[in-house]
Structures are given as structure tokens and as C-alpha cells.
Structure 1
Amino acid sequence: MNKKQSVLLSLLTSTPIGALGGLIGLGGAEFRLPVLLGMLKLSARKAVAMNIAISLITIISSIIFRIPKISISTLLPLSLVMFSIIVGSMTGAYFGADFSKKVTESLLKNTILILLIFIGCLLICEGFVPFITGGINFGHVSIKVLVGVFCGLIIGFISSLLGVAGGELIIPILILIFGVDIKIAGTVSLLISLPTILIGISKNASNKMYSDKKDFTSLILPMGIGSIIGAFIGAALVSMISSEIIRLLLGILLIFSALKLFIEKK
């Protein structure tokens, strides 16, 4: 594949993935990775590094386009939950990097497979017959903070092992446990994912993974442009699509991700 074809493919494939990021609140790493590995024939190490860099562009673009559509007064009450999940996520990511050497990949994938299918089915059922109202009643704010930290530990742990931002887990946790509307949860998820992505990029930069200028011009730049265009489209659709449909879409994506994981495991 020549450079012109690579640029065109990068632009075309990144736009719909960026639209998912803008609509739901995901970095799109899981959907972008097969393109980098399969179509563009990158090595696994380089694909992960490029994926994280493009995810950063997707997340920042989605935040910029989504924030004006949501009142800041809506986000302020969630600041404590956001902070507690971020603290837990950073800690979980730190320990997850070491634990990855001890746990078998098969056990990890089986656990995530079951978790994603369960959450996906729960969200689809909730989309058809709403039964979750206001999340869990914690009784005291300190308990809510502890739960947020614990959830963050799980998110960061899994994210560090799989090399993703963790939006697929963050959004369901915000909806099912903390009772956040999915449209707001998508924006909050992007804000929570940002520190994890920045740590991943700094780690790859220290390992000289971004030293080749050709990667920037032929891959990161065109995929970044496609992600920005997609994020704009996705963010514009947020106000047009009901929360129930977005919840259904997220549930389907979670189950799809789980099945993809199962196929790869086989």
C-alpha cells in the first residue's frame, strides 16, 4: 500500500469511529485497532502507540464539541464522582501494568467477555424497559467517593492491561451505579479517560514510539482529521437522538466488542 492509499484509508476509516466517540463518548480504540493491525499492517507495538495518540485527538475533539451542548451546572454535581474515579483509575492503571505479567491473558479475556456481555444486555433491556432510576442510593457522600475510587481501580486496571481508555466500562458504571443520563455520562467519560490517555502517550513517547515523522504525516494526521470530523458529526447527533437509542447502541457495541474478543481468543 502506497502513502496516498494509506492516507485515504486512514481518513475514511477514522471518520465513523470518531463519530462514535462524539455520539457515545468513546475514544474508539477498540474499533480502530483492527484497522491499524489488519488493513495498515502495523506491528502490534506500533499499532497500540498510534492508537493511543489518535484516541487522544478523538477524545479532545469530542469534549470540545460536546461541552457547549451540556450545561456546566449539570457537570458540577458530578465533579466528586469524576475525581474519585480518576484517582482510582490512575492507581489501577499503575498496578495493572505490573499485574499483567502475572495473570494469564485467557483468564483476563474470559472475565472481560462475561462482564461486557452482562452490561450490554442490561443496557439493552434498560433501553426497552427502563428500570434504573437515579442509580444507587449511597446514603453518604463518603461512601459514594469510595465506590467511585473502587470502580476507578477496576477501570484503570483493565485499561492498562488492554491499552484502551476504558469508556466501555466508564459509561455503564456512571449510568447503572451513579444514575447519570447517558448523554451526560458520555461527556464525563471523555473527561475521565483523558488522564489515562495522556499517561499512555507519555510512556510511548519515552520509548521513542513517535520519533518517525512518516507516522505523523501518513497516519496520525489523516486519522486525526477524520476523528475530528467524525467527533463533530457525532456530537451534533447527540441532541437529535434519544437517550434510549444511545443506550441501546452502547449495549450492542459492548456485546459486539465481547464477541470480537471471544473470536480473537479462539
Structure 2
Amino acid sequence: MDKNDSSALERSRLLQLSFLYSVPIGVLGGLIGLGGAEFRLPVLAGVLGYSVRQAVPLNLAVSLVTIAASLAIRGSTLSFSSVIPLLPAVLSLICGAVITAFFGAAMAGKLSNEQLERIILVLLVLIGVALIVEGFLPQQIPALLPSSLAWRIGAGILFGLAIGLVSSLLGVAGGEIIIPTLVFAFGADIKTAGTASLLVSLPTVLVGVVKYASRGAFANRAALRNTVAPMGVGSVIGAVIGGMLVGVVPASVLKVTLGVILNISAFRVFHKAKSHNS
């Protein structure tokens, strides 16, 4: 087999794996109301063979595709009127998130691979623990923040700063943080929080993608064709299927299970990578 045939086979394998892994991840994300990007990252780094520095912006690009598709789907089936009372919180979250999404992408470029892997491992474990805890919490509780507009705007900006940083360092939409924040801090119901989360995520992820692009992260067009495109399509298909299956398995059970799986996969991929670098 000559080099061209081998290269074509490798491209075909990458394209197929990208699609096949993204569909079940999208289904699980759809079932619990998240995009699944936190589960895509270990696949990109551990299965598809990308370095962590390549995997994060690619994950962010797939997240952008899935957010845009999710917003289009929600816009055709749901009204955004329920989000209007949450607009001060949503806008303040966006303000904070886009700032750190910009600087987070720049910071990631200055970190060594080992430092980036260590940070990603910690963040994925924290998200896994948060999913487990959230599985045992009620779907809606009274807002923990005072109803004062000043309080909500100030807290929204602070939460947004954390959300944007996590988004840019992991390449995720941040729904795993945004939704609990809206539910528990601002008293939103889970469905409204899901819609509002997409509105916060879109500009946050877009800023991260633009910043990574300016640093040359998407110069490899083959990665966009063979990984981002099939993963984006597979994630959207999976999310639609997951949305149709909501209620088949209790979301709380899924969150606990997926939190455990995320912790295991994060340790397997990023702790191993850190050990190899040592």
C-alpha cells in the first residue's frame, strides 16, 4: 500500500470514528440537557490522537456547531418569552463569560502541555463531581441570590467570568455550569435554564473560536473536515435523538452515572498523558 492509500485510509478512519463517537455522546447530552463537549474532549485526546493543545479548539468548534443547531431547533419548537425575566442574569453572564473566553484562549497558548493537561484534568473532575451532586438535587429551588437587580448583575458577571474560563480551556459550551447557576442562583426552571444557557454559550464559544483562530489553531483544514464536521453532524443527530428520548431514563440517574464515567475517562486520558510527560 502506497503512502497516498494509507493517508486516505487514515482520513476515512478518523472521519468515521469522529462521527461514531459523537452520536452517542450527543444522545446522552440531549437526555440531560447538555451538549456533551466535556465527554468529547477525552475522545479527541485519547481516541483520535490529537494533542491537548489541538483538542481544545477543535472541541470548541464542534460546540459552536451544536449550540447553533440547538438554538435553531429550540427556536422552532419553543418560545423564548420565558427567558425575558432572566435577561439581566443572562446579559451579565454573557458580559463576564466573553471576557474570560478571550483571555482564557490566550492563556491556554502560553501554558505548557503538561500544565494544560493538569488544568483540564482538574476541571473535568470538578464537572464530573458537579454532575453527580446535581443528580441528587431537586430540579428547582428558590433563588439563592437576593432579588435585587444589583446583586443579580454583579453575581452574574462573577459567575460568567468562571464560565468563560472553563469554556475556553476545555472547549465546552459551559452548559454544565450555566444551567445549575441559573436554576440554583437565579431560581429558573430547568427548561428555561436550558434555553438561556444556549443564549449565554453562543457568544462565549464564538469569542473563544475567534481567538483560537487568530492564534492559528484552525490552520489544519484537514482536522476541520475529518473531525469537526463529522463530530458536529453526529452531535446534532445525537442531541435530537436524546431530546426525543427524554424521560426514558431519569435524568438524575444519568447525571450520576455520567459524572462517574467522566471522572474515570478524565483520569485515564489526562492523568496518563501527564505521567508520560513527566
TM-score by length of 1: 0.81
Q: Which amino acid aligns with 2:183?
A: I
Instruction: Provide the rounded CA distance (Å) in 2 between the counterparts of 1:160 and 1:48.
Output: 8
For this pair of structures, how many residues does the alignment match? 260
Query: 2:35–2:239: 8 Å Cα contact kept in structure 1?
Result: no
- Structure 2 residue 74 is the aligned partner of structure 1 residue 66: yes
Asked if 1:144 corresponds to 2:155, the answer is no
Q: Distance in 2 between matches of 1:253 and 1:170?
A: 18
In structure 2, the residue matched to 1:187 is 195
1:108 Cα shift? 5.2
What code does the residue aligned with 2:242 have? G
Aligned to 1:207: 215
Q: 1:93 to 1:2 in 2, by over 3 A?
A: closer
Distance verdict in 2 for CA 1:134–1:53, change over 3 Å: same
Structure 1 residue ranges without an equivalent (≥5): none
1:56 aligns with 2:64: yes
1:183-205 per-position Cα deviation (integer Å, ceiling 9, x unaligned): 33222222211112112221232
What is the RMSD computed on CA atoms of the aligned residues?
3.2
Q: In the superposition, relative to structure 1, how do residues 31 and 131 fare at CA in structure 2: closer, same or farther (>3 Å)?
A: closer
From 3, 6, 10, the equivalent of 2:18 is 10
Which residue of the partner structure matches residue 177 of structure 1? 185
- Distance between the aligned counterparts of 2:26 and 2:148, measured in 1? 38
CA distance in 1, matches of 2:240, 2:253: 21
Provide the rounded CA distance (Å) in 2 between the counterparts of 1:114 and 1:5: 30
Find the aligned partners of 1:212 and 1:179 in 2 and give their Cα distance. 43
Q: Is the 8 A contact 2:98 2:164 kept in 1?
A: yes
Unaligned runs of 5+ in 2: 1-8, 273-278
- C-alpha offsets along residues 36-78 of structure 1, whole Å, 9 cap, x if unaligned? 2232222333222222211111111122223334332212112
Distance in 2, matches of 1:22 and 1:174, equals 18
Separation in structure 1 between the aligned mates of residue 40 and residue 217 of structure 2, nearest angstrom = 18
Q: What is the CA–CA distance in structure 1 between the aligned matches of 2:216 and 2:107, rounded to whole Å?
A: 24
Higher mean alpha-carbon deviation, 202-211 vs 108-117, is at 108-117
The code of the aligned residue for 1:201 comes to: V
Specify the alignment match of 2:168 in structure 1: 160
- 1:40-119 maps to which residues of 2 (within 5 A)? 40-96=48-104, 112=123, 115-116=126-127, 119=130
Q: In the alignment, which of 224, 245, 254 is matched to residue 250 of structure 2?
A: 245
- Shift of the 115–7 alpha-carbon distance from structure 1 to 2, 3 Å rule, reads closer
Q: Match for residue 125 of structure 1?
A: 136
Is the CA contact (8 Å cut-off) linking 1:167 and 1:193 kept in structure 2?
yes
Contact 1:182 1:247 in 2 (8 A): no
Q: Is 2:236 aligned against 1:228?
A: yes
SS in 2 for 1:2: helix
1-side partners of 2:12 and 2:118: how far apart? 41
Preserved CA contact (<8 Å) 1:120 1:254? yes
Equivalent residues of 1:113, 1:262 under 8 A apart? no
Q: Once the two structures are aligned, what percentage of the paired residues are identical? A: 42
Q: 1:154 to 1:235 in 2, by over 3 A?
A: same
Task: In structure 1, give the amino acid aligned to 2:169.
Answer: L
- Once the two structures are TM-superposed, the CA of residue 110 in structure 1 deviates from its matched residue by 8.2
Displacement, 1:87? 0.8
Report the Cα distance in structure 2 between the residues aligned to 1:250 and 1:79, rounded to whole angstroms: 27
Amino acid in the other structure paired with 1:210 = F
